[in-house]
Amino acid sequence: MTTTPSFFDEPNVEKGVIAVGKDIPFGLRRVTNSLLRTGGVYGTWGESYDNQALPHLVEKRLGAPLLDTQRLNLSELGFVSRHHIATLSPEQNLDLEVQMGARFLRAAAQACGWDPSEVEAVLIGMSAPISNDYLERIARAAGIPDSALKVTVHKACDGSVSSLHLALNPDLPENKSLSENIALRLRGKKTLVGGIEGLSRFMNRSRDTNALQLFGNAAGVIGVIPDETMKFLAGRSFEAYDTEGVLQVQMNYPHTAHRTDGGLNVDVTQVSATNIRVAGLMHEPEDGSSISMAGPMGMVKLFVRTGVRVARDAYQAYQAKLDELGTTGKTLAVAIVHHANYKINLLKQKHLQNLGISLPMPWLVSDFGNVSAASNMIAFLRKLPDLKPGDHILIDGFGAGTYYDTLAVELNG
């Protein structure tokens, strides 16, 4: 049987084992661009399963054979491998994910040349937190001061881009709903932004064959100094509630779960002076499972039409900003788009091209599967060595709920 090399076997990956359960392997890769004074870390934990080995794991979780009609063509969707853990107790899962989360925060700070004690804010997207105080736990374990602002964002796969948008754009509705605007508060401050997704643990409570084949564990965290190393140019956020339940996700985080016609479906809660929770309303599975999703074509229909419109609006806002700055003709160096699957990104790219918008959208995270909020940050870090001071990039996030954040930023040294 032909196997695909694991991320653990790639160059410059720091490997180790977490002594939980039967020992959990992990791998991290640090990335630094000294010209941009920006860096970060990405990686994963759990055993590596390529497309040939995955069906056996899925069948074990289902307790039944995976039918030929249920098998996805994963390579066609852009994925060659992903990482999973065995079933653990709640206490073991918490121990594992706190240790991993702390490692990612610590390594991201160090990749930027910061001591964790210098970090002034942490904003992390996570679809299915292991505990409501998870960010506080990992920040403390990483050596980040208790005084640092901690913002958790639960907007499914859009979580990390929403976090970055919160850190950079003071005009977001979420920022305006707070007594102290996050973006204004963080200007000039050392800030960690990312996505940490223990999706294998979450998938253990699903019998959805599509989800079990697509998702896996991963994290990506970057360091930014808003308005210094990364400057907001233009962007759009949008929500279109998934009333049909095309992608149903259990909210294992606090949410009022009451929709107000015409209002936002996002709860913004000031838990304490240093702790804010941004939580999006999800269409939850009625059977109590963790996730239930339509097939790949269902995901295309859910995300592409609205996603193209949001990306178009953000691009047009970016062009207007260039006119305002007197830099008409400047082009985007790259577009960092959430890796839900390759077909979604290809179709978005095609529709945007039909509108006269050409965006370079490289496929960069095939060795992790769909890793929700982690994917944008992994993709950004894999392009970071090629980027230069003054480059403009577009970052496009979208996720269940349904939530969209697209923003253009300038990188400064």
Number of structural domains (the chain) is 1
Sign of CA dihedral 210, 340, 20, 13: positive
148, amino acid identity:
A
Whether 164 maps to a domain, the answer reads yes
CA separation for the pair 260, 65 (Å, rounded): 43
359 domain-assigned: yes
**Closest C-alpha to 218, from 39, 41, 357, 397:** 41
pLDDT at 1: 35
Structure tokens at 44: 């994963």
Is 11 domain-assigned?
Answer: yes
Query: Rounded distance, CA 241 to CA 325, Å?
Result: 35
The per-residue pLDDT for 12 is 96
Q: What share of the chain is helix, strand, coil (3-state, %, to 5)?
A: 35, 25, 40
The token pair at 307 is 């996603």
Q: Is 251 left (phi over 0), alpha (psi -120 to 50) or beta?
A: beta
Q: Residue 245's closest CA among 198, 307, 196, 287?
A: 287
Q: Which pair of structure tokens corresponds to residue 38?
A: 């920006």
**Nearest Cα to 38, choosing from 408, 393, 401, 389?**
389
Q: Are 291 and 248 in contact (CB under 8 A)?
A: yes
Packing angle between helix 296-325 and helix 342-354, nearest 10 degrees? 50
Q: Which residues of 139-157 are buried (b: 16+ CB within 10 A; e: fewer)?
A: bbbbebeeebbbbbbbbbb
| pLDDT < 70 regions, the chain | 1-4, 260-262, 413
Model confidence, pTM: 0.97
Among candidate residues 75, 99, 375, 72, the one with its CA nearest the CA of residue 213: 72
Query: Considering the domain boundaries, does residue 1 fall inside one?
Result: no
If we measure between CA atoms, which residue out of 358, 313, 363, 353 comes closest to residue 331?
A: 358
Query: Residue 258 contacts by C-beta under 8 Å, 6 or more apart in sequence?
Result: none
SS3 label, residue 348 = helix
CA pair distance 164, 407, nearest whole angstrom: 9
Sheet holding 14-18: strands in order across? 14-18, 24-33, 38-45, 218-224, 191-197, 121-125, 149-154, 275-280, 266-272
| CATH code (residue 108) | 3.40.47.10
**Amino acid at position 373, single letter:** A
Range of the domain at 291: 7-411
Residue 2 lies in a domain: no
d(CA 305, CA 126): 25
What pLDDT score does 295 carry? Answer: 82
Is residue 23 assigned to a domain? Answer: yes
Whole-number pLDDT of residue 297: 85
* CA 65, 70, 74, 79 torsion-angle sign: negative
HEC letters along 151-211? EEEECHHHHHHHHHHHHHCCCCHHHHCCCCCHHHHHCCCCEEEEEEECHHHHHCCCCCHHH
Q: Which amino acid is at 66?
A: L
d(CA 14, CA 373): 22
pLDDT of residue 2: 46
